[in-house]
A and B are shown apart, each in its own frame.
Chain A
């Protein structure tokens, strides 16, 4: 819808495409500015302190100050690094993260590209991050970076499995992988959301609820591990690996990793919100419908989408400051011994319920 509006507005095919591709980027950048500030304030208040207070009102311009600082730093490249890999790695990580935004529906009026295999595409392309991280760790010529990168690769690859199992169980229930259709199916009020069993009001809806909730928890935990957030942040464990795979980076490249991490956090929260909690649908109905101003609806939906994404990002930050870091063998145990069997059993039960 957005593409057509832009095309009629501007008259040119290519310009409309460019703007449509750039809009999620603008959103991501603004979100990262907000998220870094939010993280610092939330972590500070959870620790009974204040966080940044001087730059702007309560420090909200602190991220901009940090960005300017990172921009003007010297780009240090040590002599023994593998130069092509070292230079490309940050951009690969960011590209892998940003490509996910192409398939997420921001509102009913805007989706980057409507892919019928939406979720499949997302999970596949977020694996590009592994390649980037491995390149970064290997080319840094530093044993700590290498360790961090290896652990990260193991972690991301193994936690893709519970994610995929839960997604498959959801696909069985809804019959589609297209994210826009999934969001449209959950329209109405909040009891139509997937986590509460889905749109059809039968007895099966109520039987689904506990298994949907289990699936939600499993996918939230495994996507937390995919973005390398505590308690799974071994790859960038600040106290253990001196910053892991991005130890040797300085200046703009480090800013890229930072950007990629926060963009990834939002992408993953957005995916979880879309498939389980109704994506851009509002829980109560639309003000646009109330006042008969139907043009308002896509903007409202965007607001709900951003709100749900931000809420899950806030929960990720909350978890970060509550839980200690898992050891690498505990991390693997959680994935292979707990999450995968639970997700698998969940899949079987949901499949049985769907068939019967």
Chain B
């Protein structure tokens, strides 16, 4: 009988304690952030969309090699001697034209591993996180600042330079086999009399 009454008492008491707690929570301000009108405050070094400052890029390919998901594609073309590409912001002289620098931002896992190897600190993470697109193709970002014609031009320049070098090499290589032959005969002739005098037995 005592347990029966204590059950009733416990039930009523605990229910009223619970109700007091819920009632107090009615007056606690909500923790919801109403997103599109109010943006949440992000930490200072939050990792969001990547950005590449092409003026500083020397085309070293370290970021592409460091990327764990292979989202960076880099293609470079050597500059022909005599061409001036300018300096990076920390004084290095650039020697490569970067013709392709694609980052597939859909593949990017925002790990920041590409930021650290860069010698000129030209690739870094910004605080942009709202960049959704309607077409998936629009998510492949192309950072190169040269126009397509300029890229072709650089490639062609280099190809021409290479061709010229190869032609020069060929031209240098063609008389070369004759020259040693002629040199051999010239060399051997004085050798014979010398040989006669110095025959060792």
Contact = CB atoms under 8 A, between A and B. Distances in A.
Interface of A: 42, 44-50, 53, 318-319, 321-323, 338, 342
Interface of B: 7-8, 15, 18-19, 21-23, 25-26, 28-32, 34
Contacts of A48: 25, 28-31
A322 B18 contact: yes
Given A49-B32, A319-B19, A323-B18, 19 more contacts: A44-B30, A46-B22, A46-B23, A46-B25, A46-B26, A47-B25, A48-B25, A48-B28, A48-B30, A48-B31, A49-B31, A50-B32, A50-B34, A53-B34, A318-B22, A318-B23, A319-B15, A322-B15, A338-B8
Contacts of A46: 22-23, 25-26
B111 to A, nearest CB: 32
A53 B22 CA distance: 21
Contacts of B19: 318-319, 322
B15 A42 contact: no
25 contacts: A42-B26, A45-B25, A45-B26, A47-B25, A48-B25, A48-B28, A48-B29, A48-B30, A49-B31, A49-B32, A50-B30, A50-B32, A50-B34, A53-B34, A318-B22, A318-B23, A319-B19, A321-B22, A322-B15, A322-B19, A322-B22, A323-B18, A338-B7, A338-B8, A342-B8
A45 B30 contact: yes
Contacts, number: 39
A31 B162 CA distance: 85
Contact of B21 (A45, A53, A319, A322): A322
A313 to B, nearest CB: 15
Contacts of B8: 338, 342
Contacts of A338: 7-8
A342 B34 CA distance: 49
Nearest to B17: A322
A258 to B, nearest CB: 24
Closest 3 CB pairs of A and B: A322-B18, A50-B32, A50-B30
A80 B65 CA distance: 62
Contacts of A342: 8
A56 B8 CA distance: 45
Nearest to B18: A322
A343 to B, nearest CB: 13
A99 to B, nearest CB: 32
Contacts of B7: 338
A321 B8 CA distance: 21
Contacts of A53: 34
Interface centre among B18, B22, B31, by most chain A C-beta atoms within 10 angstroms, is B22
Contacts of B28: 45, 48
Contacts of B25: 45-48
Nearest to A42: B26
B30 A323 contact: no
A48 B18 CA distance: 16
A20 to B, nearest CB: 38
Contacts of A322: 15, 18-19, 21-22
A49 B116 CA distance: 41
A50 B35 CA distance: 12
A49 B32 CA distance: 6
Contacts of B31: 48-49
A316 to B, nearest CB: 12
A323 B26 CA distance: 16
A46 B31 CA distance: 12
A18 to B, nearest CB: 42
Given A45-B26, A48-B25, A318-B22, A323 B15 contact: yes
Nearest to A315: B19
Contacts of B29: 48
A138 to B, nearest CB: 34
Contacts of A49: 30-32
